[in-house]
Amino acid sequence: MSERALPLHAQVERSLRDRLGSRDLRPGDLFPSEAALQQEFDVSRSVVRQALASLESEGLIHKVRGRGSVVAEHREVHRDVLRSGLRLESDGGGEVSTRVDAYDVVPRPDHLASITGEQVLQLGRVRSVGGVVLSYIRTWLPVDVAEAIGETDLEDASLHQLLADRLGRHVVGGHNQVRAVPATAALAERLGVPVGAPLLLLEGRSVDRDGAALEEFSTWHRGDLAAFDVEAVPPSARDGDGRLERLARTARELLAEIETLR
The distance of closest approach from Cβ of residue 96 to its own copies in the complex, given in angstroms and rounded to an integer, is: 19
CA distance 31 to 171: 44
> In this chain, which of 4, 28, 66, 131 binds its own copies, going by CB under 8 A?
28
Contacting residue, 6, 7, 18, 147, with its own copies by CB under 8 A: 18
CA distance 122 to 205: 14
C-alpha distances in Å from residue 228, one per residue of 87, 161, 221: 11, 22, 10
From candidates 106, 196, 245, 252, binder to its own copies by CB under 8 A: 196
Nearer to its own copies, 7 or 182 (CB): 182
- Give CA–CA dist 160/139, Å, rounded: 11
The closest of 64, 111, 100, 80 to 217, measured between CA atoms, is 111
Assess 91 for contact with its own copies (CB under 8 A). no
**Rounded to 5 degrees, what angle do the CA atoms 124, 87, 192 make?**
45
* Number of residues lying near its own copies (CB under 8 A): 66
Site string for its own copies, 168-187 (x = CB under 8 A): ----xxxxxxxxxxxxxxxx
* Closest to 153 (Cα-Cα) out of 197, 123, 179: 123
Considering only residues 94, 124, 130, 198, which one is a binding residue for its own copies as defined by CB under 8 A? 198
Please provide the size of the chain in residues. Answer: 262
Q: What angle do CA 94, 99, 105 make, to 5 degrees?
A: 145
Least distance from its own copies to the Cβ atom of residue 1, Å: 10
Q: Provide the CA 99 distance to its chain's centre, in angstroms.
A: 18
- The CB-of-31 to its own copies minimum distance in angstroms stands at 10
Secondary structure class of 211 (helix, strand, coil): coil
| One of 42, 232, 256, 260 touching its own copies (CB under 8 A) | 232
Residue 40 CB, nearest approach to its own copies (Å): 11
d(CA 153, CA 221): 23
Binding track, positions 58-77, relative to its own copies; x by CB under 8 A? ------------xx------
Binder among 8, 82, 132, 146 for its own copies (CB under 8 A)? 82
- Residue 243's beta-bridge partner residues? none
* Interaction between residue 106 and its own copies (CB under 8 A): no
State yes or no: residue 201 binds its own copies (CB under 8 A): yes
Q: With binding defined as CB under 8 A, does residue 23 bind its own copies?
A: yes
Beta bridge partners, 125, equal 100, 137
88 touches its own copies by CB under 8 A: no
Q: Which residues bind its own copies (CB under 8 A)?
A: 15, 18-19, 21-24, 26-30, 70-71, 78, 81-86, 109-111, 172-187, 195-201, 203-204, 209, 218, 220-221, 223, 226-235, 237-238
